[in-house]
Structure 1
Amino acid sequence: MIPFTVIYEDNHLIVVNKASGVLVQPDKNGDPALEQLIKQYIKEKYTKSGEVFLGVVHRLDRPVSGLVIFAKTSKALVRMNELFKQRDIEKVYWAVVGTMPAEPEGKLVHWITRSEKSNLSKAHKTEVKGSLRAELQYKLIQRSDRYSLLEVHLMTGRHHQIRAQLSAIGCPIVGDLKYGFARSSPDGSIFLHSRYTKFIHPVQKEEIILEAPMPELWHKYGMK
């Protein structure tokens, strides 16, 4: 497995297409993480001596694939963090589900609670103690005999938000055992992919639009 491919790179940013199964940052298990792998990539590509600066702008869950943005300078990191804080960045995900939603497109609003112990989020229909409002929009963009491909626009950024909200309406993501899908996928991935992003470059101030290609495995499930 190739852990990442570079989608965009300049002096300030590097954006990669992360493979499913790769951690973004190291954890207590010591598995190789994307942050370390990209530092090594930069070090070798530019024959850098000493420590390489790399700022983690945001994260994807380990079984999720797609676009991940890193900052190569402290200036870019501060400004990208502000873009995310102000929600001045567009992020679009693709998700394959085994059960098509009742409506081909719509908005989902839930209140999310998170269990630190189980690392699970739950989407509630009404506000409960300790919950945070979660909102997304989805649209059906493709169907095969057994599966449906949804385009998901996040309006908020909650823990496991897409996974929890789709599960709450009876449409768990393919391979996502944690949120109710019946069986795992052949490679252990879940069929959730960070497909598209659009933002204003934090230093150059030009519009950046990036896409990550659909994972190869999805084609075997009838997705094109």
Structure 2
Amino acid sequence: MLQIFFEDEQIIVVEKTVGIESQSSHSFEPDMVSEIKKHINKLSTAKCEPYVGVIHRLDKPVGGVMVYAKTQKAAAALSKQVSEGKMTKKYQAVICGKLVDNVGNYVDYLLKDSKSNTSKIVDKGINGAKEAKLNYKVIRTIQEGEEVLSLVEIELLTGRHHQIRVQMSGHGTPLWGDNKYNLQFTPAAGAGRKRGSIALCSCYLAFSHPVTGRKMSFQMKPEYSVFAKFQ
């Protein structure tokens, strides 16, 4: 069932479900765009297909707050906010290990490999490399046996492919459950390692309404998977 935080004629703010694509998947699997269209169709008598504009994206294994446009005018206005850095996006993540500083930032250059659908940190001068910036703040650190886990809040200042996952892994504290960038969870780690959804959630989203200009913010607290250990 679609979890809706806010909806009017211009936009709809929803909770993206873990394991579902945030944009049209062009397959038989469900995706957020299709689910929102189904919701709109139930409320409308119009025979034409409803418009749903994708403003930002979340990786398939990541859940959290997202905004979609219901008109092209709203889509253009929201996309402009994204490009101008006026849309605030914060995440909560559980990382394996402990950060040296409780508050800090990372500035790296990422290069995407389309063949493997992965990215990596490279030198600034590498052709195709894009600057990636984020701020982080440690909320809590716990220890279970020999394993140290930290709950962190991350504010994205740029929106690169797999950015949080790549930067946290590149700095020695990969995300719990990440089967691409955490060696403990990759297929090569074997069946003995407990598997679960990646511990990354879009927990806060703030922007201006595309028509009225009203400041809007939405937040949620992840309680699934390993996040439950920090409740």
TM-score (normalised: structure 1): 0.92
Deviations 1:70-108 (A, max 9, x none): 001111011111111111111111111111122212110
Q: 1:2-151 residue pairs with structure 2 within 5 A?
A: 2=1, 4-124=2-122, 126-145=124-143, 146-151=148-153
Structure 1 partner of 2:221: 213
SS of aligned partner of 1:149: strand
CA contact (8 A) 1:101 1:169 kept: no
Structure 1 partner of 2:171: 169
Partners of 2:196 and 2:73 in 1: how far apart? Answer: 37
Deviations 1:116-135 (A, max 9, x none): 00000001354422211111
CA contact (8 A) 1:173 1:181 kept: no
- Confirm or deny that 1:203 pairs with 2:211: yes
Structure 2 unaligned runs (5+)? 187-192
Q: Aligned residues: percent identity? A: 34
SS of aligned partner of 1:129: coil
Alpha-carbon deviation of 1:187? 7.0
Count of paired positions: 221
CA contact (8 A) 1:108 1:136 kept: yes
- Alpha-carbon spacing, 1:108–1:71, altered in 2? closer, same or farther (3 Å): same
Structure 1 unaligned runs (5+)? none
Deviations 1:144-181 (A, max 9, x none): 22321111011111111100000001111010010124
1:132 partner amino acid: K
TM-score (normalised: structure 2): 0.89
The alignment yields a C-alpha RMSD, in angstroms, of 1.9
CA contact (8 A) 1:63 1:188 kept: no
Partners of 2:183 and 2:40 in 1: how far apart? Answer: 38
